Structure 1
């Protein structure tokens, strides 16, 4: 799949500009290497590790009907290869959305440089959040996690995952890992890089923690809840860029943001603090994937609580900044000194318009000469 941006310049091969302009083509070729490897017997075993999910286990569906089977998945070190391949896929999809959707809108709207970068960021994230919300909700419904909240901690450890559950986590990790090279491909400003590194790191830390500690049920619920609130914010920001009078979306987002933080804390304390704390088996066992011990439970709750507190602190600062911008009065406009003939007075010619000095004002050589005389 070749994706090329039109440009009159032909930068040197493997230069900085060449890689940035053609990164989608380069990544597409890398992904095609793994897909072509599936066609040959010599390379098929290695290519399968990158393209398909690993560590599958087949078990009977029911005790009475042994002919029917269900395929479940565990996690292991080979998942890193799968995450790498789908990270390449995420880069390709990112480039497609950027060139065929966001760039066309930017050319029509004529955004400034600041709005241009923020619009691209919100456009990419809103598409990802919407897709993840729909996908995650379908898993929650099919696995009956919503109708039965006790499934969040019952039968822990949740080492065996259905295909959709594992593929969801692999895709989440691949997407957030792809955000690192995108900082280079999108020429992100230096002052914006620390902020983006923080939230990318927080996503990877919590998603990886839920995946490795076998808290996939709780992690899925919290991700869908968080993604829905974030999708509302970024879609509201897109509407705001098209019409700066649009504020309703931000008001709804502010209410849901606070409710989302409270619901996240409630579900986390209910699952980790009460559900897992009352489980019979509370021994650390790496072979069975059981991490239900007091130090790990405290660490999980602490990381969730600290993250929610950090997000609330950023949210409060954001709301205070908006309130100050809307409540601050406009700067006063100074009146012009006009003579009877309707021409600017000498005072205005010397001081400039509205009190600002101009090239013909008090600092000009002519005015200094008149003053000395």
Structure 2
């Protein structure tokens, strides 16, 4: 599906403006090439690598009277092709949400340039976080990970994944990779690029790390928890842009943010620090996907702890900045209030003085005649 923005200008073909204005159409054509490749026998084997999930393993189970076959998947180098294709899909979906939802609202609200960029960012991330949270929660419930926490480390390495879990990770990596070219397509401000690159890098490192190290169950729970908190923040910001008096969402988010960091650290220490350290299958075996050694466990825990500390540091700075801004606003209101009351008092005294001592009052005329 091509997305074409309406514009009166026709920039030169293959110029920067042409690519930016028509990037969704260009990406749609590239994605269509892979889809058309499925129709021909010569190219179908190549196109399948990009579109379908690879490394299928069929396992027979004896549940019930009949033997059933269950499909599971493991990871490999071919997943890079699949991630690339779904990165293209994420770019197309980004353009659809931007043009048919966010741009429509922005034209009605007439946001300033600063609010416009923040509104677009929160709108895009709110849609992604809502979708990912609902999808991830469905996987957790269907696989009974929440009711059985021991499954986070029991039976490690978890090299085999159900289709939904593997496809979830593929889409997650595809989405955060698509955020890199979107910095160019959306003409991100130079001062905003370092901040966005930092959190894109953190997402990719943690998601890819959980996927490669076969910590996919722990990674899924932490992602669902994190996405819920982030969803609340960006929804609260969207509500704030529509009415600046509605700030209750930020208060709820602040409480849940701290709880989310504590839960993340607790689950990580419980799974990696205690669960895997006492597991029977110890050792490093790349072929078997076993990374359960002290160095890897400490590296994973250190990465999680440093990331949580970094997020808390950013959170504290954010709250201090909000409190300073709120204090400045209250100070200005207090300074303006006495000035207004004083002006009203002076005006009232002036009116009373004229009415009681004016030359045209009956009392003054009587005094003069006597």
- TM-score, normalised to structure 1, is 0.88
Describe the SS at the equivalent of 2:285: coil
**2:332 alignment partner in structure 1:** 330
Distance apart, 1:65 and its partner CA: 5.7
* Residue 144 of structure 1 pairs with residue 144 of structure 2: yes
In 2, the alpha carbon distance for the partners of 1:193 and 1:302 equals 26
**1:95 alignment partner in structure 2:** 95
Describe the SS at the equivalent of 2:291: coil
* 8 Å Cα contact 2:152/2:218 also seen in 1: yes
In 2, the alpha carbon distance for the partners of 1:5 and 1:29 equals 16
Distance apart, 1:62 and its partner CA: 2.4
Which has the bigger relative contact order, CA under 8 A and spacing at least 6? Answer: 2
Describe the SS at the equivalent of 2:201: helix
Distance apart, 1:3 and its partner CA: 0.8
**2:230 alignment partner in structure 1:** 230
* 8 Å Cα contact 2:4/2:25 also seen in 1: yes
In 2, the alpha carbon distance for the partners of 1:281 and 1:57 equals 22
In 1, the alpha carbon distance for the partners of 2:64 and 2:36 equals 42
* Residue 158 of structure 1 pairs with residue 151 of structure 2: no
**1:265 alignment partner in structure 2:** 265
* 8 Å Cα contact 1:54/1:73 also seen in 2: yes
Describe the SS at the equivalent of 1:277: coil
Describe the SS at the equivalent of 1:53: coil
In 2, the alpha carbon distance for the partners of 1:85 and 1:77 equals 14
**2:316 alignment partner in structure 1:** 316
Distance apart, 1:63 and its partner CA: 6.9
List per-residue Cα deviations over 1:115-166 (Å, max 9, x = no partner). Answer: 0000000000000000000000000000000000001001000000000000
In 1, the alpha carbon distance for the partners of 2:8 and 2:280 equals 68
* 8 Å Cα contact 1:60/1:66 also seen in 2: no
* 8 Å Cα contact 1:53/1:79 also seen in 2: yes
In 2, the alpha carbon distance for the partners of 1:89 and 1:227 equals 21
Describe the SS at the equivalent of 1:72: strand
List per-residue Cα deviations over 1:328-351 (Å, max 9, x = no partner). Answer: 21285799xxxxxxxxxxxxxxxx
* 8 Å Cα contact 1:34/1:51 also seen in 2: yes
Cα root mean square deviation, aligned: 1.6
Distance 1:65 1:75, change over 3 A: farther
* 8 Å Cα contact 2:156/2:281 also seen in 1: no
Map of 1:42-191 to 2, 5 A cutoff?
A: 42-62=42-62, 67-191=67-191
* 8 Å Cα contact 2:86/2:174 also seen in 1: yes
* 8 Å Cα contact 2:210/2:216 also seen in 1: yes
- Structure with the higher fraction of residues in helix conformation: 2
In 1, the alpha carbon distance for the partners of 2:298 and 2:263 equals 19
Describe the SS at the equivalent of 2:197: helix
List per-residue Cα deviations over 1:196-240 (Å, max 9, x = no partner). Answer: 000000000000000000000000000000000000000000000
Describe the SS at the equivalent of 2:290: coil
